[in-house]
Structure 1
């Protein structure tokens, strides 16, 4: 998930990341412990105990990590971590592909399941499997062409449309509930989403509309949205913090593409209610990954950074820092999330093989129809 408030692609193995598998993971996170962790063999990236030195971690703009935890990790391991941010997840992936012959860093965090095959197919990543990877997380791992893991799952969540309750109450307008509602005159000029060519939530929402409307109908739906005053931003940051009225009350649009967990961060002063809400019938499930970059200057230390991102201590900070659910079942999830950050029971889904085959064509067709 991509939020900066304190903090938002697939190979053949991502077929495990279908709705059924996600449901299994959700149940596992609710009741499993680290006793179920799967012990995987160390990878070719080299997670040697002696790995030290500088590591450049390339991420999307919404990456956030606890500074005290990072300092403790650096002191314990002798690794120093430099963080470089490269826009939204789509921009991040594109930059990694463009610079694969001269990598921007040693490790990456923020490639998601809508862009993962682009990175894997381009040869951006090195093989690496964390030794203590939980089995509940391993089912979402993305392999390279050699069948070895290249992308390590770190968090997951639902990309959904969000509404500003206060705006609709003040205006006396009924809140939308479905995708079709957004094309109605009552919601003209009220919606802002992200561009699927540059934004992972934007691409997730494009896939949601393809799932809901089919390949024969999704472009007509987008044309109807455009005719109804849709605004498209390059990334989540601009959409949520500049154009959305519910983030700080200053944006002009009360409907935004964000995450189902976003309402847990717009609570009333007494924390008994939230000022925003997610439309759970519009959601697409997103998984975010970390990996070691092929050609990294310090691959062994980079592998240790990837492993650390999947550790219980880091995973327990993910809800508060990055608005996502942790993949490690031993991690702590805030109590408020049960009420204010629910996951969709039936998220919209597109098979991994279809995303791999059609992603670029779908984006090109969307761009022609919506951006022009």
Structure 2
């Protein structure tokens, strides 16, 4: 899943080529262990937005003797597709980054083996979406509409509060969204509209959005940095599909520094995303893979997640950074949907959305 740009502490080795056999790989060595020095190694397959502090990874390697390599393979959908294609002969040992929108695709293909981490007891039941423990919840966040506070204040236009509000004439040409076929937040926003308006009403809602001038782009970065007026690049859309944590990221990365975020969150628009890790079936490093899954739920990693990947830690009692509690949002009652329902209808919904909005 795409998030506000984070500053990864580790350095990735440049890609050579990723061919269909996946013989060539992008490898990032995340610990302080020199190449060849560690006898035990585990490979983490993940999305391109993965980031943890170098010191946190160093601690894992020092305590376990296990060298961690990270293999980024695109977005959440792409890493699941690769796992399905290489089922039984995986390119790594642990996959991190499959979310509830793509979970059933992975589970139905049996790409994970079962493992119940002892640390999962600290995770709320609402985030444990697989009772068979093939995947472990690591973090969560809300995909929401963000708004440019100054834009609305200067024009004395009230900020929209509901999805239906976005179809009103006063918000014409103000919203930019992502294509759900190419974007994780775009898909999450589509799911929010299905959850709100139901199978008989969501397409009609999108017709109203289209008539009201909604802009559609391929991905999150284009929407947020190029089109959004609060993204810093001169965009003219004061409403964008992004994350409830985007306001905190705007403060963290502000130059010059600021104390209050210029971005707000429309909490009545949010869809809850949960990210999971799972041990890939066929791994030759099962013991090391289990240690890595446990580590992802450790206090050190959970506390590192908010300012590295701008997500909320799955373990309930994890303390949050002050800048996060002051500026990031969570929805009190976000839209949700079972992975089974998403898996059964996701592709059909995307096809219907394309026919409604883009054609």
Question: What TM-score do the two structures reach when normalised by structure 2?
Answer: 0.82
Paired positions, count: 326
Of the structure 1 ranges 83-92 and 306-315, higher mean CA displacement relative to structure 2 is found in: 83-92
Distance 1:209 1:74, change over 3 A: same
Name the residue aligned to 2:24.
none
Name the residue aligned to 1:20.
none
Q: How much has 1:217 moved relative to structure 2?
A: 1.0
Distance 1:139 1:226, change over 3 A: closer
Question: What TM-score do the two structures reach when normalised by structure 1?
Answer: 0.79
For 1:361, which of 331, 340, 348 is the aligned residue? Answer: 348
The answer as to whether partners of 2:139 and 2:313 remain within 8 angstroms in 1 is yes
Mapped to 2, the partners of 1:198 and 1:94 lie a distance apart of: 14
1:259-338 aligned at under 5 Å gives the runs 259-267=243-251, 271-338=258-325
For 1:141, which of 98, 116, 128 is the aligned residue? Answer: 128
Name the residue aligned to 1:71.
58
Distance 1:230 1:296, change over 3 A: farther
For 2:175, which of 191, 194, 198 is the aligned residue? Answer: 191
Distance 1:92 1:222, change over 3 A: farther
1:348 aligns with 2:332: no
Greater relative contact order (Cα 8 A, min sep 6): structure 1 or 2?
A: 1
The answer as to whether partners of 1:127 and 1:150 remain within 8 angstroms in 2 is yes
Mapped to 1, the partners of 2:156 and 2:81 lie a distance apart of: 43
Name the residue aligned to 1:204.
188
Distance 1:52 1:111, change over 3 A: farther
Distance 1:88 1:253, change over 3 A: farther
Of the structure 1 ranges 85-94 and 255-264, higher mean CA displacement relative to structure 2 is found in: 85-94
Mapped to 2, the partners of 1:191 and 1:226 lie a distance apart of: 10
1:222 aligns with 2:206: yes
The answer as to whether partners of 1:88 and 1:198 remain within 8 angstroms in 2 is no
Mapped to 2, the partners of 1:81 and 1:233 lie a distance apart of: 35
The answer as to whether partners of 1:90 and 1:197 remain within 8 angstroms in 2 is no
Q: How much has 1:344 moved relative to structure 2?
A: 1.3
Name the residue aligned to 1:6.
6
Name the residue aligned to 2:237.
253
Q: How much has 1:137 moved relative to structure 2?
A: 4.0
Mapped to 2, the partners of 1:77 and 1:114 lie a distance apart of: 33
**What is the root-mean-square deviation in Å for CA atoms of aligned residues?**
2.5
Distance 1:358 1:180, change over 3 A: same
For 2:71, which of 68, 84, 91 is the aligned residue? Answer: 84
The answer as to whether partners of 1:163 and 1:254 remain within 8 angstroms in 2 is yes
Q: How much has 1:270 moved relative to structure 2?
A: 6.8
5+ residue gaps, structure 2? 8-37
The answer as to whether partners of 2:4 and 2:246 remain within 8 angstroms in 1 is no
Mapped to 2, the partners of 1:126 and 1:250 lie a distance apart of: 47
1:162 aligns with 2:149: no
1:319-353 per-position Cα deviation (integer Å, ceiling 9, x unaligned) = 11111111113422123434422321221233444
Q: How much has 1:218 moved relative to structure 2?
A: 0.4
1:165-211 per-position Cα deviation (integer Å, ceiling 9, x unaligned) = 12334455443222123223333333222232333322221111011
- SS for the counterpart of 2:144 is strand
Of the structure 1 ranges 244-253 and 158-167, higher mean CA displacement relative to structure 2 is found in: 244-253
Name the residue aligned to 2:218.
234
Distance 1:371 1:79, change over 3 A: farther
Q: How much has 1:310 moved relative to structure 2?
A: 0.7
- SS for the counterpart of 2:333 is coil
1:49-68 aligned at under 5 Å gives the runs 53-68=40-55
- SS for the counterpart of 1:287 is strand
